[in-house]
Amino acid sequence: MRSFSFVKSSPVLRVAVLLLVLTVTSGWWGGCERQAATIYTAEADDPNFRRGKEFAKQASNREALSSFLRVIADRGDNAPESHLELGILYQQHMKDPLSAIYHFKKFRELRPNSPQANFARQQIDACIREFARTLPGELIENQTPQSSLHEENNKLRREIDSLKDQLDIARNSALDASRNVLPPLTVDASRTSTPPGGGGQGQSQAYGQAQPPAQSSGTTYGNNPVPLVPLAPVTSTYAPPTPAPLPPPPPSHQASPASITPVPAAPATIARGQRHVVAKGDTLYNLAQRYYGNRSRWRDILAANRDQLPGENATLRIGMELRIPQ
């Protein structure tokens, strides 16, 4: 109470307190007015937006960026034109395609039905292509033929499955044919001749004569006896071949050493074939298609190069020399 009474008794302090209250109130009210003016004022009439346009005309790109960013900070999502201007600055002058893509997409999000929405979409595609050119060339080249390699892989798998089916059919056919072989013939023991080492009269027969079978009283089929007639000995008619006549002897005079022409020895027969130096992109399937016109003959190339390709999963190295059999 004493303090308030002191203020009441001092006119100077009373005026100072009143001015302080007016200053605080005017500041709060002015801030509210500026915020309300920012929200309800058109973006084209914003002072920062106008300064940004002037800086852009003067090619002061850094100052223009700062002005447009202030507009976005003050207006939030009510600054689509500033996003469009920033996208153009980042793409054409700052060479920052990723930032340009962000602001172009933000403009299309805030103004999807604007006449400039199509322009923003085209600029997004251009920024994506520009960013792709900054990537390493090998990465782009390796990603380009992925679809074709996948299609070729599927085609080779289908060919392998077809070959497996054909092999199974051939194997089953071979098994069925082996089951249909005729049963072995049975030989009557009474009609076989005495072996050479059986002794008796067979040892006294001359070479080339067959031993006659032993006589039997007969074989009974039902109630009718059928006598067996011994076979007559067969005399061998083998005669050694007559030798061909020899050619006449050469003349008696001695040939000079200079007149003798040496006869070259016949070279050994070698399975000839072509040779191929592995280049980038070569596979056993491609080589079989190139040299034979048939991808299924890749196993022939694999078999001819077992010293370098121990298995089906062996990798072809660039510069490797392969034998291509005929």
Domain of 305, CATH number, reads 3.10.350.10
* pLDDT at site 265: 42
User: 192 lies in a domain?
Assistant: no
pTM: 0.36
What lies within 8 Å, CB to CB, of 225 at 6+ separation is: 218, 219
* pLDDT at site 218: 47
Radius of gyration (Cα) for the chain, nearest Å?
54
User: 187 lies in a domain?
Assistant: no
Residues 47 and 129 in one domain: yes
Residues 30 and 101 in one domain: no
User: 90 lies in a domain?
Assistant: yes
* pLDDT at site 285: 87
Boundary residue ending a domain (136, 151, 173): 136
Report d(CA 170, CA 153) in Å as an integer: 26
Residues 114 and 80 in one domain: yes
User: 56 lies in a domain?
Assistant: yes
Q: How many domains does the chain have?
A: 3
**What angle separates helix 80-92 from helix 61-75, to the nearest 10 degrees?**
150
pLDDT per residue as tens, the chain (326 positions): 444 554 455 666 666 666 666 665 555 544 444 454 455 588 999 999 999 999 999 999 999 999 999 999 999 999 999 999 999 999 999 999 999 999 999 999 999 999 999 999 999 999 999 999 888 765 555 555 666 788 888 888 888 988 888 888 888 888 877 776 655 555 555 555 445 544 444 444 444 444 544 444 444 444 555 454 455 554 545 555 565 556 565 555 444 444 444 444 433 333 457 899 999 888 888 899 989 998 889 889 999 998 988 888 888 889 999 999 98
Report d(CA 93, CA 46) in Å as an integer: 23
Residues 51 and 110 in one domain: yes
* pLDDT at site 177: 78
Task: Identify the bridge partners of residue 274 per DSSP, sorted by sequence position.
Answer: 324
User: 96 lies in a domain?
Assistant: yes
Closest CA to 215 of 232, 233, 228: 228
User: 309 lies in a domain?
Assistant: yes
Boundary residue ending a domain (136, 162, 181): 136
* pLDDT at site 135: 83
* pLDDT at site 122: 94
What CATH number is attached to the domain comprising 84?
A: 1.25.40.10
Boundary residue ending a domain (91, 115, 136): 136
Which residue segment(s) compose the domain that 312 sits in?
273-325
* pLDDT at site 41: 80
Angle formed at CA 217 by CA 212 and CA 218, multiple of 5 degrees: 95
Residues 33 and 81 in one domain: no
* pLDDT at site 221: 47
* pLDDT at site 268: 36
Residues 32 and 108 in one domain: no
